[in-house]
Chains A and B, each alone.
Chain A
Amino acid sequence: MKNKRCIIYGLVFVTALFTFANGAHAGLGGNADTIGADRRSLSASHRATTSHGGYTVEEMAYASTFVREYISSAGIVFGVAWNGYVHPDLELLLGPYAREYTKSLRNAPRTHGRRRQHIVTDNVVVEKWGHMRDLHGRAYVPGLVPSGVSVDEIR
């Protein structure tokens, strides 16, 4: 009896560990397998996959919005960048970091006359800028950026 319960608990624990280790959530912090899910959620089509030193960029597009996901060689999405006439859905793209971003937004002061916003939370940096019909943004998890890669490459 005891052994069976242990085995069940063990299986549940390992499954959970496996799930989290694989980053089965979509967006930032997710793994490369979730990019397809992101595309489907955005009704986007794949545009290009390009390789750089230490990371790969998957670019997708829907309507006139372009989203680029930056994936480390370990297969983790460490940054996203976008441009278009609307910002994409950040609740999806920020993954588990969306909540702390939203919380920080509520406390952010309105920066009248400045056409950019720069939010830094404990774990994520989210920047937006641009003008009507040509909005831009990017978000990255500093802790996940591969060494030797500059955040300015996320664009």
Chain B
Amino acid sequence: MRSGKFIVLLLMFMIMAGCGGGGGGASKTLASIAITPENPSIALNGVQQFTATGTFSDGTMQDLTSSVTWSSSNTNTVVATISNTAGSNGTAAAVAAGMTTIRATSGNVSASTTLTVSSETLNSIALQPASPTVAVGGTQQFSATGTFSDGTTQDLTSSVTWSSSSTNTNTAVATISNTAGSNGAATAVAAGTATITATMAVSQPIAGNISGTANLTVVAGGSGGQANVLPITVNGSLCSSGSYPNKPCVSVTVCTPGTSNCQTITDILLDTGSYGLRIFNQALNQTLRVSLTPVASGSGQLAECVSFGDNSSEWGPVQMASVVLGGEPAVQIPIHVVNYNSFGGPPGKSGCTSSNSIPDTSPSEAGFNGILGVGLMVQDCGTNCTSSSINVNPQQYYACNGSACSWTAVSLANQVQNPVAMLPANTNGVADNNGVIVELPGIGANGAASVDGSLVLGIGTQSDNTPSRQVAAYSASVASGTAEFTTSTSFGGTSSASLIDSGSNALYFYDPNLPLDSSGTWYCPASTTQLSATNTGSSGSPSATVTFQVGNYNSFHASSYSVFNLGGYSSFDEGFDWGLPFFLGRNVFMGFEGMQSNLGTGPYWAY
């Protein structure tokens, strides 16, 4: 009796164990497998990725590429092998000319197709892109294209062996992945040049390797590995020693167009009140000085004379350069090379001679190596300078033949222009070109030796540049003809034009009630004073109060600090200049003219 019950139980257990393999739930069985592509043909050293799609008894379909068993019949000779290794399941590699049957099997369901290997051989491998530039921390995807003896091409990115080498003895410049799913993705590790190589072993016509190479230039820049971020130091490590107070500095990389001949230059003033990149000739290395291509104007070369509000002036040629900001793709644009002696010196009546201005003849005279102008406008003159009715001195642009320079009209494309506005799409397919964000921490009442922050490129184009709900945009009007753009600031009962300008090193405004220092330049309240003003967008809204601090200049001057809540005198008509102190402890968005973002269409300031 007992043994009988035991047998029944054992039989039931065996039956249950034999039923429905692998867990409960609805039972469906695999009905058929389809292999794609059907009957393909590849060249010697070519590869073919097969996919197995299963159809189940309930009509559902599922990709079974990674779970079927792949085989290649190779009846007479090894024509192709096929992989069952995780990450490359279903990848067939050609070995010799001929035909083989490729089979995908799962349990007792299988499917097959014929793979033909032609006798074409791999001749060469080409890599794209050929010489990109990326900042440290950024990534660059390479692709490898094989060309076969019959002229056909095939993407071999996932089947070549990728490697990176450089002459840096201590650190790799870049690493590159051979992992399935990220083949050919290079990561920039340290500044320098890396040679990227893609290699495929071949056995026909003779055993050996076919390789292709590319050059990857890695430049310093990018904060925390984010490609659209440039570090800013206010009187910090990116500034020259002995810099004037409240000076925000960045570094930019300038390259000869079409080459990887680049130079990273620091002590560049970050200026939201101007447009375009300007660099002193003295700050460029000799190779760049001679290799940046002049912009032609008539039968001569284009040059320009620009003035700043302090009556300083910059004279020199306009030349094409490839500019790299952070980890963004290089942008090829005209830049202003400041060179007082170029073309025999600034033309008389140009506004850049010493009878009319204070010409900057060197970086030490100017107080910087250059200026990165990322203000609201795109070109540094706009339609003022395109008109053919320009017919009198002084002008901004000149055409120079030797030392003979005369005023000239200039197209928008040839004008010195805001490099960020001209950025192309980055590796995510998005262009960070509709504006910038200046992010700087706040300081205490006594000031600071220096502060570090970030210049973020693009508004609402990446996860790191999306404005919070509290940010409001103040549109800046552009009056026709004058290109004057203003919002208005109401302070002390009167209203005046205003701008937000990181290149000004104080808040400059008119306040007859605040005491001034002995030079009549800086406000000197007995102790740090809080004041408020109301900013209004050009359309009438928004309109909101800004509170700001003005410290005692004399105390600051006696301290060893360089960053301070400086307030400076300006006359009633000059308007309200929200200089660098406005940016401390605030994220300030500059929306470029005509560009869209989720804050609206530029030009606008937002904070």
Contacts and interface: CB of A to CB of B under 8 A. Distances in A.
B233 interface: no
Interface string A88-125: 11110000001000100110101111111110000000
A108 B358 contact: yes
Interface of B: 244-247, 273-275, 305-312, 349, 351, 354-358, 360, 365-367, 373, 375, 377, 380-382, 384-385, 387, 389-396, 481-485, 499, 501, 503-506, 508, 521, 568, 570-574, 577, 579-580
A115 B501 contact: yes
Contacts of B355: 91, 98, 102, 105
B574 A129 contact: yes
B215 to A, nearest CB: 37
**Interface of A, helix, strand, loop or mixed by DSSP:** mixed
B501 A90 contact: no
A83 B484 contact: yes
A47 B437 CA distance: 41
A128 B309 contact: yes
Contacts of B244: 112-113
Given A62-B392, A108-B358, A115-B508, A131 B499 contact: yes
Nearest to B391: A43
A63 B577 CA distance: 27
Nearest to A62: B392
20 contacts: A43-B392, A89-B351, A91-B349, A102-B354, A105-B356, A108-B358, A110-B358, A110-B367, A113-B245, A113-B580, A117-B311, A117-B358, A128-B307, A129-B574, A131-B273, A132-B273, A133-B275, A134-B483, A135-B309, A152-B571
A88 B482 contact: no
B384 A133 contact: yes
B389 A63 contact: yes
Contacts of A62: 392
Contacts of A106: 354
B392 A116 contact: no
**Nearest 7 Cβ contacts at the A-B interface:** A113-B505, A115-B309, A112-B244, A117-B311, A43-B392, A112-B367, A132-B274
Q: Considering residues B358, B390, B579, which has the most beta carbons from chain A within 10 angstroms of its beta carbon?
A: B358
A118 B570 CA distance: 10
B500 to A, nearest CB: 11
A111 B395 CA distance: 24
Nearest to A134: B484
Contacts of B246: 113
Contacts of B360: 110
A42 B392 CA distance: 7
B574 A88 contact: no
A129 B505 CA distance: 14
A133 to B, nearest CB: 5
Which one of A63, A87, A91, A127 has the highest number of Cβ atoms from chain B below 10 Å of its Cβ?
A63
Contact of B483 (A85, A91, A102): A85
B392 A63 contact: yes
Given A43-B392, A63-B395, A152-B571, 10 more contacts: A87-B307, A91-B349, A112-B244, A113-B244, A115-B501, A116-B570, A117-B310, A133-B484, A134-B484, A136-B574
Nearest to A83: B482
B308 A89 contact: no
Interface size band for A: 35 or more
A127 B349 CA distance: 18
Given A42-B392, A66-B482, A85-B385, A128 B311 contact: yes
Contacts of A87: 307, 351, 356-357, 394
Given A42-B392, A62-B392, A133 B505 contact: no
Contact of B503 (A66, A102, A113): A113
B387 A63 contact: yes
A88 B394 contact: yes
A7 interface: no
A86 B391 contact: no
A86 B396 contact: yes
A118 B273 CA distance: 20
Contacts of B305: 86
**Interface hub of B308, B396, B503, B521 (most chain A Cβ within 10 A):** B308
Contact of B351 (A86, A117, A118, A131): A86
A133 B387 contact: no
Interface string A41-79: 011000000000000000000111010000000000000
B273 A105 contact: no
A113 B273 CA distance: 11
A94 B268 CA distance: 35
A135 B571 contact: no
Given A89-B393, A110-B358, A115 B308 contact: yes
Contacts of B382: 85, 133
A85 B577 contact: no
A105 B275 contact: no
Nearest to A151: B571
A130 B354 CA distance: 19
Nearest to B383: A64
A111 B310 contact: yes
Contact of B571 (A63, A66, A127): A127
Contact of A114 (B393, B483, B506, B573): B506
B309 A131 contact: yes
A25 interface: no
B504 A115 contact: yes
A112 B367 CA distance: 7
B309 A110 contact: no
Nearest to A106: B354
Contacts of A118: 571
Contacts of B390: 63
Contacts of B377: 132-133
Contacts of B306: 132
B503 A115 contact: yes
A116 B574 contact: yes
Contacts of A110: 310, 312, 358, 360, 365-367
A84 interface: yes
Residue with the highest number of chain B CB atoms closer than 10 Å, among A110, A114, A115: A115
Nearest to B510: A152
